[in-house]
Structure 1
Amino acid sequence: MWLTPLLFVAASFVQAQDGNTTALFPNATYPGAVSPDPAAAELTAGTTSPPFYPSPWGSGSGSWADAYTKARAFVSQLTLIEKVNLTTGVGWEGERCVGQNGAVPRLGFRSMCMQDAPMGVRDTDFNSVFPAGVNVAATFDRGLAYARGQAMGAEHRGKGVDVQLGPVAGPLGRSPEGGRNWEGFSPDPVLTGIMMAQTIEGIQNAGVIACAKHYIGNEQEHFRQAPEAAGFNFTITDSLSSNIDDKTLHELYLWPFADAVRANVGSVMCSYNQINNSYGCQNSYLLNYLLKGELDFQGFVMSDWQAQHSGVGSALAGLDMSMPGDVLFDTGTTFWGTNLTVAVLNDTVPEWRLNDMAIRIIAAWYLVGRDNTSIPINFDSWTLDTYGYQHFVANEGYGLINEHVDVRAEHGKLIRQIGSASTVLLKNTNNALPLTGKEKLTAIFGNDAGGNPNGPNGCSDRGCDNGTLGMAWGSGSANFPYLVTPETAIQNEVLNNMGAVESITDNFASTQIASLAGRASVALVFVNADSGEGFINVDGNIGDRNNLTLWQGGDTLIQNVSALCNNTIVVVHSVGPVLLGNYSENPNITAILWAGVPGEQSGNSIADVLYGRVNPGAKLPFTLAATREDYGTDLLYLPNEGTDAPQVSFTEGVFIDYRSLDEAEIQPVYEFGYGLSYTTFTYSKLQVTRRDTGPYLSTTGLTSAAPSLASSPKNTSGYLFPSNITRIPLYIYPYLNSTDLETSANETDYDLPGFVPAGGQDGSPQPRIAAGGAPGGNPQLYDVLYQVDASITNTGSVTGEEVAQLYISLGGPYDPKVVLRGFQRLSIQPNMTANFHVDITRRDISNWDTATQNWVISNYTKTIYVGSSSRKLLLNSTLS
């Protein structure tokens, strides 16, 4: 979400975005990038997204049946005005949450509260700050992912939030410099999909609607919005277009969203960018065909904040809720509201489409039990003052707006656990770790060890890199209730053991650093690399990182300390991959740990690992390569010449992160899935059992017709602005201003002849999509075809946790060498053996076939591998 007021020229209310552009596109990837698949290699700036209409109506399939029954009964009672009110936000800063739709007071249905974020409840107090998604991925622990989701959901519920705007699978992490990669999980679609599903189930079981975002191809912050780019002196007309071929879309970027839909996510947020030169929130192919058709998504699609670029066009293309409602922040103009009322009354938007929007919204509300768990909104996003204006932008409705409800419970314990469980031990020479706390002199170095001099919340939206990196920046941030720094935690540890400890948190105090390093028994060096959302520029990094180096002179700090102390331990807090130079080979650097973005318990979490209370078991959720070029993909930092919209063609196809390095036969510094322990493990006794299942059958037949509800009267006088309501300035309303529809609309071209796309108004039964059939896609994709078991033995002297990983070679000429398809985190006592078990589904060994528009199992040999990382594949077997 983008949350800074900017100006731009609004697109037409009826603009269709299934068009195309033609321009020369200079490839943004490195010359050595892998691109063996012709379908991806041929992408150009002229790539277009095909139209698909009508927008599928929800059927209540899967687990949604009861929620749909209740939703249809509720929506059947609504007037046209009330239905429009549900779909349209009231405007930026119009109410107390970052987004709220209109209420239905007549039936006691309050305005729904949409609130960030993926790390905690944003813009309030007495909330927790959880570890970032990238840390959750590093745990490879489904249970922790679920527990975190449930705890976050409980905190949002306690604040009165209806929709938590997370979790994140877009960005997936195509490029390691991507500014918001840390909000998501991993560039591997299977790891991301599993963690997405677990997080969603946790949030929604807590009684809050989850929102999977940002759908789709939202892989960089640069140029995601033209007006935002203008603020950084870039002149573009339209948002960046991510050009993605069909096969890559299915096998990589859509994969985790399918898992989210299968987990019954209640809402999906469409993204700012264009995909194949059609805006994400009005791309009928992505919303109608893929999301609502092929994946059978039953919830509602909401726009990212100001990502809506048309009225009728977006309605027919599958958008269900406009957020925050106004075209421009705080202007009172809207694509929907009054305009949507007009469009239904003049039959441009069929009323069944509006009914479907409303039913989808209310069904998600019932699905998670909001009718039983709803708590009044008790905070305000625009101020922490106890008293203020309910309608902040209008300075109206003065009263109690912040009740300062403490929703943290005992979540700090879980946060500390996830922080330590996500810390990856990369190097540990001669068992340098764990420490005892009784070292003669412990020296702590680095800005990243200490606190922000202005306090943990001293930079708005955490838009700075001062002190330890407990959270990155942007709308994915939240206010810290406290932040335990590494300096504090380590000091406590050493003092409890009667040791000596000194610290220097100025990275550039070279004289003092040299003096202390030369005396230290052990030197703990803390370094970081930050990033965030594109509306904030930190040290020249406009959301996205400019490079993969450490910040604040971190490399110089490591070099200076390690040159004088032969027991230097490096701890990296970062949003993603960083370049570690020759640290893995430096004999004076005895240990390296990656600790990610761990949240409020940062110091305690790392101390638990450093001092052995927790045996590290995390694995890298991405690759640490030797050079930036080794990744094979990069961001577009300057607009293409001769294009209105910057063009980024994903010509690398599915070859990102470890898949790219594997294909190019590049040796990483530390590979995907890598991580050490304070103990050792062996792998043995691989067994593959084939399961008998029926053949894969395409979904056939027709859907039902669009659900029929009573038609709204066409008498325009019944929809005029009520005389007994005091109009709040800049507030978005659904009422007409005049009985003349053309006069009442904000735009004058809502009824241009020929605008409505072919099929856009058709409510008759439609052909079902072959690869569809249930939430998540054809249910037979999830049939278990094989069961894999192996024995994992702890051969060391301490209890440890090992993440055993299953990889598959699909065998085709355009397939990656191996792809992750399963994992299990096992806790194993010394000299004991645990069973590793993973099911292989039909989807796991299938490829997307563009000709048949379905999943197929190719005739190439499939080989499975079980190991401790993507490069340490210890056991293998060929699938029969």
Structure 2
Amino acid sequence: MRGSFTLPVLFANTAPQLHSRQSDLAYSPPFYPSPWMEPNVEGWEDAYAKAKAIVSQMTLLEKVNLTTGVGWEGEACVGNTGGVPRLGIRALCLQDSPLGVRFADWVSGFPSGQTAAATWSRDLLYQRGVAMGQEHKGKGVDIQLGPVAGPLGRSPEAGRNWEGFSVDPVLTGVGMAETIKGIQSAGVVATAKHFIGNEQEHFRQASEAQGYGFNITESISSNIDDKTLHELYLWPFADAVRAGVGAFMCSYNQANNSYACQNSKLMNNVLKGELGFQGFIMSDWSAQHTGVASAVAGLDMTMPGDTGFDTGLSFFGSNLTVAILNGTMPLYRLDDMAMRIMASFYKVGINLNEPEPNFSSWTRETYQNSHFYAQQGWTQVNQHIDVRGEHANLIREIGAKGTVLLKNNGSLPLNKPKFLAVIGEDAGPNLYGPNGCAAGDHGCDNGTLAMGWGSGTADFPYLVTPDSALQSKVLSDGGRYESILDNYATTQIEALVRQAGATAIVFANADSGEGYINVDGNLGDRNNLTLWQNGDELIKTVAGINNNTIVVIHSVGPVLVTDWYDHPNITAIVWAGLPGQESGHSLVDVLYGDVNPAGRTPFTWGATRESYGTDILYEPNNGAEAPQDDFTEGVFIDYRYFDKTNATPIYEFGFGLSYTTFSYANIQVTKGNASTYTPTTGYSSAAPIIGSANYSTTLTDYAFPDGEFDYVTAYIYPYLNSTDSLAAASKDPEYGSSAVEFLPANATASDAQPRLPASGGPGGNPALWDVLYTVTAEVTNTGSVEGDEVPQLYLGLGGPDDPRVVLRGFERLEAIAPGETATFSVDLTRRDLSNWDTESQNWFVSEYPKTVYVGRSSRLLDLSATLS
């Protein structure tokens, strides 16, 4: 059967720095060789030792198998590596998503990362990570494809902002760290993604854009300067590395005209070198564009393995085998790839001989073919195991505590209203069920919005709508309840809300998602910042009649509320985010005061679209070549840009109201005893060769196994198609032949390498986390209701090119009783006070005067103190 099986050789002259470009386009400098694992990095020592013990037993073919996906729909999961069954390693299972287990039944639909971040609660972020990890583990998943720090949210219209946490790198960094710790505590490897500059859906993949009719041949290039990269977009990824994350996913886009998954500057220099990342880097699905060129640039695993879905062709697989045998790629690089994968495996406590995944991504049927695309291997593929546990309670709590009260003229909390009129499609169900979008992956905007669309989703086991939850509550109180769930039923809506004594709640939403799904002409990214389904007109219609109108918004980010937010008849505005399966229950908890709202908006609500200063690049701007997206605003996104331009937001970053009141007092600054910052010096060890005894140069050792071999169609194998000669093994009729690939200077060097000054430990130089100051303040509940409060610490770095203030710390102080005072405390580290110096490639604390502020939002800063 193997006679019809071919693999391309795609090791052409396509090293990352050689991308065809005009002289004025951004450029990503080369950095080689790819750093190898270090045995004594804090937190990785035991994992390294275990990995070395098992990798040293692997043959070349087994190492290649571990680094190569088997192909789309080849096994149970959205991504599977080849296994090493001889040593008890089954095919590793990689599965979406950052808010639950995608493509599986009997799992939970968690709140989005953005909604979880709106709680500003480290504990809830951690608990959410634990619960998601437990569900992935229960389904047999080894590697969860989340959490998300890219996109960070440069443009509010970007389709996948809701998958991440916040536009602020510190809040996002905390979200990343706590989620990673939670996921990995459950025995599942977490994946920090998408690395890096993946800030819009338009043009992220040339092929996807071509499908929408755009004439481009290369994917978009996010052009980011070094200072902006470090001070903004890299910050939360550094927190991920420091938290011990096992995996990174490189993104679809180019960065400075080099594809992220073959960008040696980003993967070798920044991630593995400067940040000291010891885990492995996988490609986003089909984001790999070269073979050895991507491997020596730092890529450790190709996903899902094939060059195009279900082609049977791979950049790795047998091509990687050939590359080692003909000397194109050094053996140490393959060893390092396998070591990084297995060290991550051991770091989270995964064992050998793990049970197979008990679900199939490709069918809900109990019995189907295990190799779905090939339709081979009939067996039981779904065991329908319920992994939800008691997670509904946590989902409800996060949904409620992530709800932000934006306006309240005393109409909330509700107190047994006699007559509640609920208006809007967003309050009700999708008529085809909570998972009934025809496009799949929630690719529609029908009924209440509880998560966006795309691969960052999971199926709902149920969805509690606001309509059902509110009706149940009103009826239990003996009230009257009516709802109209058609946004365009104007006559009926007007008749209902003008009735005497009616309290009206209007629901509206705004959706977005991943670029492979087009919803109402929105190609992932939103076309505008208005509410969907006539939402703005619906709100104005009801408010024009009813003098007690409450507005509830479910959205993927900010929307423009300028035309109606200050209407005198609108007595309250609530942002409920994307709350997951317990949506209605979470909302009722807040509206009725069972949960005193303390959610804070994780982004700014601007008066106009233009007030953000950034936007999506909707049309190609470089002919048929790669669209060029220049990040000319630098670090000035969201609230930083509003501050820079003195623009007044409707609701600023970090804002949120409560049913009680708080006062702030007595800021105190204590100086720490940190030592002087010392750049890292010295050299690494030389590249280790692990298990060289298992390295054979006999070509027949790399042939498909003799005898009965159950070849699976389009499955990616490490075996050679021809063992006549390496030249014959390197040929493919479609791609021609290339026995040896051109590689840049130093790409295969194995000698000791100089350490980078900003390196030295997970996340960077350990001295960056020295505490320079501790800031405390007192927060007193001056109202009559117990509640949580979220004091926030902002820092003015003082330089002419610095933002006015940047977030540097926060804490959700829980259950402060009336009259009670709680203490807020933040340790300011050297990193918090530092800027990036592009010349020395290191962090430094400038001589500009620095001021610390404590308050309740980025604009409501009650207290301040100067740092000496």
TM (normalized to structure 2)? 0.97
2:92 corresponds to 1:112: yes
2:177 corresponds to 1:194: no
The Cα shift of 1:10 comes to 10
Alignment of 1:581-592 (within 5 A): 581-592=562-573
Match in the other structure for 1:872: 860
2:15 corresponds to 1:16: yes
Q: Deviations over 1:175-217 (max 9, x none)?
A: 0000000000011000000110000000000110000000000
The Cα shift of 1:741 comes to 1.6
Q: Distance in 2 between matches of 1:403 and 1:839?
A: 48
Alignment of 1:655-804 (within 5 A): 655-711=636-692, 712-724=695-707, 725-739=709-723, 740-745=725-730, 751=738, 755-804=742-791
The Cα shift of 1:93 comes to 0.3
Deviates more, 1:824-833 or 1:10-19: 10-19
Q: Distance in 1 between matches of 2:716 and 2:463?
A: 39
Match of 2:436 among 441, 454, 458: 458
Tell me if structure 2 keeps the 8 A contact 1:20–1:46. Answer: no
Q: Deviations over 1:86-143 (max 9, x none)?
A: 0000000000100000011111110000000011100010000000000011110000
2:849 corresponds to 1:861: yes
Tell me if structure 2 keeps the 8 A contact 1:809–1:817. Answer: yes
Q: Which residue type is aligned with residue 676 of structure 1?
A: L
Q: Distance in 2 between matches of 1:196 and 1:366?
A: 21
Q: Deviations over 1:8-35 (max 9, x none)?
A: x996555212225545xxxxxxxxxxxx
The Cα shift of 1:473 comes to 0.3
Match of 1:847 among 835, 844, 861: 835
Q: Distance in 2 between matches of 1:144 and 1:754?
A: 49
The Cα shift of 1:737 comes to 1.2
2:252 corresponds to 1:269: no
Q: Deviations over 1:444-494 (max 9, x none)?
A: 000000000000000110000000001110000111100000000000100
The Cα shift of 1:708 comes to 2.3
The Cα shift of 1:375 comes to 3.9
Tell me if structure 1 keeps the 8 A contact 2:328–2:740. Answer: no
Q: Deviations over 1:806-829 (max 9, x none)?
A: 000000010000000000111211
Alignment of 1:147-162 (within 5 A): 147-162=127-142
Tell me if structure 1 keeps the 8 A contact 2:286–2:307. Answer: yes
Q: Distance in 1 between matches of 2:838 and 2:323?
A: 36
Q: Distance in 2 between matches of 1:373 and 1:516?
A: 63
Q: Secondary structure at the match of 1:86?
A: helix
Tell me if structure 2 keeps the 8 A contact 1:162–1:374. Answer: no
2:52 corresponds to 1:64: no
2:811 corresponds to 1:809: no
Q: Distance in 1 between matches of 2:584 and 2:329?
A: 55
2:306 corresponds to 1:333: no
Match in the other structure for 2:302: 322
Q: Secondary structure at the match of 1:353?
A: helix
Tell me if structure 2 keeps the 8 A contact 1:157–1:373. Answer: no
CA RMSD between the two structures: 1.3
Match in the other structure for 1:5: none
The Cα shift of 1:581 comes to 1.7
Q: Distance in 2 between matches of 1:153 and 1:162?
A: 9
Q: Distance in 1 between matches of 2:761 and 2:123?
A: 26
Q: Distance in 2 between matches of 1:511 and 1:783?
A: 64
Match in the other structure for 1:535: 516
Give the aligned length.
850
Residues 82/800 of structure 1: CA separation in 2 closer, same or farther (3 Å cut) = same
Q: Secondary structure at the match of 1:193?
A: helix
Q: Secondary structure at the match of 1:855?
A: strand
Match in the other structure for 2:822: 834
2:550 corresponds to 1:576: no
The Cα shift of 1:521 comes to 2.1
Q: Which residue type is aligned with residue 443 of structure 1?
A: A
Q: Which residue type is aligned with residue 476 of structure 1?
A: G
Match in the other structure for 2:4: none
Segments of 5+ residues of structure 1 without an aligned counterpart are: 1-8, 24-43
Q: Distance in 2 between matches of 1:615 and 1:366?
A: 42
Q: Deviations over 1:128-178 (max 9, x none)?
A: 000000001111000000000000000000000000000000000000000
Q: Distance in 1 between matches of 2:366 and 2:433?
A: 21
Segments of 5+ residues of structure 2 without an aligned counterpart are: 1-7
Tell me if structure 1 keeps the 8 A contact 2:426–2:485. Answer: yes
Q: Which residue type is aligned with residue 56 of structure 1?
A: P
Match in the other structure for 2:5: none
The Cα shift of 1:373 comes to 10
Q: Distance in 2 between matches of 1:175 and 1:821?
A: 22
Q: Distance in 2 between matches of 1:708 and 1:727?
A: 32
Tell me if structure 1 keeps the 8 A contact 2:9–2:730. Answer: no
2:496 corresponds to 1:516: yes
Q: Distance in 2 between matches of 1:13 and 1:93?
A: 28
Tell me if structure 1 keeps the 8 A contact 2:11–2:292. Answer: no
The Cα shift of 1:745 comes to 2.9
Q: Deviations over 1:234-289 (max 9, x none)?
A: 11000000000000000000000000000010000000000000000000000000
Q: Distance in 1 between matches of 2:162 and 2:835?
A: 28
Deviates more, 1:576-585 or 1:361-370: 576-585
Q: Distance in 2 between matches of 1:411 and 1:543?
A: 29
Q: Secondary structure at the match of 2:557?
A: coil
Tell me if structure 1 keeps the 8 A contact 2:13–2:741. Answer: no
Q: Distance in 1 between matches of 2:144 and 2:587?
A: 28
The Cα shift of 1:744 comes to 1.6
The Cα shift of 1:584 comes to 2.9
Tell me if structure 1 keeps the 8 A contact 2:17–2:258. Answer: yes
Q: Deviations over 1:12-61 (max 9, x none)?
A: 555212225545xxxxxxxxxxxxxxxxxxxx961100000000001131
Q: Which residue type is aligned with residue 70 of structure 1?
A: K
Deviates more, 1:642-651 or 1:395-404: 642-651
Residues 375/718 of structure 1: CA separation in 2 closer, same or farther (3 Å cut) = closer
Q: Distance in 1 between matches of 2:622 and 2:343?
A: 46
The Cα shift of 1:839 comes to 0.4
Alignment of 1:544-693 (within 5 A): 544-693=525-674
Tell me if structure 2 keeps the 8 A contact 1:20–1:48. Answer: no
Match in the other structure for 1:4: none
Match of 2:806 among 811, 819, 827: 819
Q: Distance in 2 between matches of 1:100 and 1:466?
A: 33
Tell me if structure 2 keeps the 8 A contact 1:574–1:595. Answer: yes
Q: Deviations over 1:796-847 (max 9, x none)?
A: 0010111000000000010000000000111211110000000000000000
Q: Deviations over 1:514-537 (max 9, x none)?
A: 000101521010100000000000
Q: Which residue type is aligned with residue 673 of structure 1?
A: G
Tell me if structure 1 keeps the 8 A contact 2:370–2:376. Answer: yes
Match in the other structure for 1:252: 232
Match of 2:378 among 393, 398, 413: 398
Tell me if structure 2 keeps the 8 A contact 1:523–1:569. Answer: yes
The Cα shift of 1:583 comes to 2.9
Q: Which residue type is aligned with residue 303 of structure 1?
A: S
The percentage of counterpart residues that share the same residue type is 62
Tell me if structure 1 keeps the 8 A contact 2:9–2:731. Answer: no
TM (normalized to structure 1)? 0.95
Tell me if structure 2 keeps the 8 A contact 1:13–1:312. Answer: no
Match of 2:351 among 347, 358, 371: 371
